[in-house]
Amino acid sequence: MGENQVLNQLEPWSELKDKVVLLVKDTRSLSIKLPFILLTGASSGIGREVCLDLGKAGCKIIAAARRVDRLEFLCSEINSLSSTGIMLAAPLELDVSSDAATIQKAVKQAWDIFGKIYVLINNAGIRGNVKTCLDLSEDEWDRVFRTNLTGAWLVSKYVCSLMRDPKRGGSVINVSSIAGLHRAMSLGGVAYACSKSGVDAMTKMMAIELGATDRGSGNYLAGSLSHS
């Protein structure tokens, strides 16, 4: 058996590379092809900066997060970029650690804002308390997994369910971390690293299950961040 055959058996998602969005490198082309975007964790950090870049590219954005006041300020900033007065961004209150029914309701609200969603960017995430695997509590473990992994799955589930119409299609981009692949952070991040490893596995399975349709799933691996 050749090396490529072995690789394809171990990593069948590698055959879906032409159907999966792995990394958005050019937001200008994205604005033409896939202009309606739902982005979670939009109120700060990576999510906020991505929303601003997408707004400058002319995309229409549903900015979702828990802190609505920050979202309203962000959307006002993005909408001021519109030379025609067309709304480019709208805020959506969404806590991805909520129960399934709450998330499903929020996703439906997001869909109704523009009448469609072509791209979902699962960016919401937390690092959690910095404790060793011996000191971390079960509640702290569950909180990290609920936000980083379960939340991303539930949002994806309900968005992709609305994308079922074959004329729609769409893409899911999960913001993961190099911490989920190898040791790339200081001690005390066991829950975070494990949750991001789970995001990687979920993305691969979603790519297999959805890749045969016009819906794709891919990862963006964020590196370690420092805040000044």
Q: Looking at the annotation, which residues are catalytic?
A: 192
C-alpha span between 160 and 158 (Å, rounded) = 6
Among all chains, which residue has been given the structure tokens 């739902």? 38
Contacts of residue 77, Cβ cutoff 8 Å, sequence gap at least 6: 52, 55
Q: Do the beta carbons of residue 83 and residue 104 sit within 8 Å? A: no
Q: DSSP letter for 61, please.
A: E
Say if CB 65 and CB 41 are below 8 A apart.
yes
Q: Which of 205, 198, 102, 113 shows the shortest CA–CA distance to 158?
A: 102
Residues 6 or more apart whose Cβ sits within 8 Å of residue 6: none
Max CA pair span of the chain:
60
Tally Cβ neighbours within 10 Å of residue 213. 15
Length of the chain: 228
| Cα separation, 218 vs 216, whole angstroms | 7
Q: Rounded to whole angstroms, how far apart are CA atoms 38 and 40?
A: 7
Closest CA to 74 of 33, 112, 46, 44: 44
